[in-house]
Structure 1
């Protein structure tokens, strides 16, 4: 049997209970909640082992009984910050995955510090894996095989993450954007129209000079998100149709 990494074992309540004596007044859930409260208020930069320890009223060394490092703390935070996925409620696979992907994106925008995690690991905790399970289950009645279903959900997860990252960074002033006086899509389009060489970037230059972003409010609109999502799901639908045809043949 594969030995679970300590942080994974703790998230699933699988750590051997070898300690004797009085029951500790701390637990992983309390530590995780405290760390998430700090991140919600101050961003990921505000999270430290000493800060979390102070919030729960213990010495920093006491935390290492539950999380062995700052990286482990970030791992449990990434799982603990996740709300339950949407319920299926009788929706078709496509309607459910629209709601699922939107909720995934919106969760990241509500807690943008999740976007700052140094490399979001594949899901290992119970909450994030529940999201994966529900999306896979929605595709369960389709003719897609297990690998295809998994790849579909991975693609939708990546789309939600990319859209949330772009929306957050652009709406809050990405790296150097505020300093450059760029506060919205229209400003961005004007800058591109100025710097682009029509010989080297003919298509993009024509779009920017035609005012593609001039009337945009904010950096991205929900219609843009849905457009990209529908492109992905149209491809999934086409794949499902091909698999059904092949099975019938």
Structure 2
């Protein structure tokens, strides 16, 4: 039996479980409005532009008034990571593999459209209603495949991890290296040329050979759909083989 625990105030608000006061004026704001304003700021300025003061200014209230709805910036980031997610596609009528391919792709595309989400999603498990709805739909798509509950959860988390990693690679390849970088590296090709210079072929035989072959030139292809699909198919092939092994055991 699951241990009962009191939800933190932010999660109560996200799940609509916060007690509604019976007296006094109705609140002027709500968490959804505040979250939407914070997402707009993050999209235009990055997470560095998101503060309690900037969000309060966007929704036209005093910063102190914002704390009535959000206890801290960390809570606000939690709400943003959930609020930016669209509703997941529905698995009904789709083969599990086709659905999970779409499910992973939409997550990757969301991260490319809102790069700041990477900084939050890598460090926090899904807690809000939107992100957990995504997890629910992935589990539903795998229902009837013969995988047990733990395996289905692992498949979903692995595919989410792939979406995060691929999005990070695409963004780094297209945006170049950070401004504070002093190596003179401006992109993947420069990085590959640098590795050719520093790698000792005797110590790093495989990596050195790949870099000397010029694999990093044209690495902008990381952003191409074919490259994303290549990695995704590797993962889904593994899931398919696992399902087949479970079926043979039965």
Structures share a fold, TM > 0.5?
yes
Paired positions, count: 247
**Alignment partner of 1:116 is 2:108:** no
2:222/2:228 contact within 8 Å kept:
no
1:184/1:218 contact within 8 Å kept:
no
State which of 5, 10, 17 in structure 1 corresponds to 2:8: 5
**Alignment partner of 1:64 is 2:67:** yes
TM-score scaled to structure 1, two decimals? 0.93
1:7-156 correspondence to structure 2 within 5 Å: 7-18=10-21, 20-88=23-91, 90-117=93-120, 119-156=122-159
- Return structure 1 stretches of 4+ with deviation > 6 angstroms: none
How far residue 181 of structure 1 moved from its aligned partner, in angstroms, is 3.9
Deviates more, 1:112-121 or 1:140-149: 112-121
Residue in 2 that maps onto 1:169? 172
How far residue 121 of structure 1 moved from its aligned partner, in angstroms, is 1.2
**What is the aligned-residue RMSD (CA, Å)?**
1.8
User: Any stretches of 5+ residues in structure 2 without a counterpart?
Assistant: none
Residue in 2 that maps onto 1:237? 240
Question: After superposition, what is the alpha-carbon deviation per residue over 1:101-145, rounded to whole angstroms, capped at 9, x for unaligned?
Answer: 111111011000111238531111111111111111110121001
2:177/2:187 contact within 8 Å kept:
no
1:173-212 correspondence to structure 2 within 5 Å: 173-175=176-178, 179-212=182-215
Question: Residue 175 and residue 118 in structure 1: after superposition, are their counterparts in 2 closer, same or farther (change >3 A)?
Answer: farther
Question: Residue 74 and residue 227 in structure 1: after superposition, are their counterparts in 2 closer, same or farther (change >3 A)?
Answer: same
Question: After superposition, what is the alpha-carbon deviation per residue over 1:185-212, rounded to whole angstroms, capped at 9, x for unaligned?
Answer: 3322222112211111100111111222
How far residue 146 of structure 1 moved from its aligned partner, in angstroms, is 0.7
TM-score scaled to structure 2, two decimals? 0.92
Question: Residue 118 and residue 95 in structure 1: after superposition, are their counterparts in 2 closer, same or farther (change >3 A)?
Answer: closer
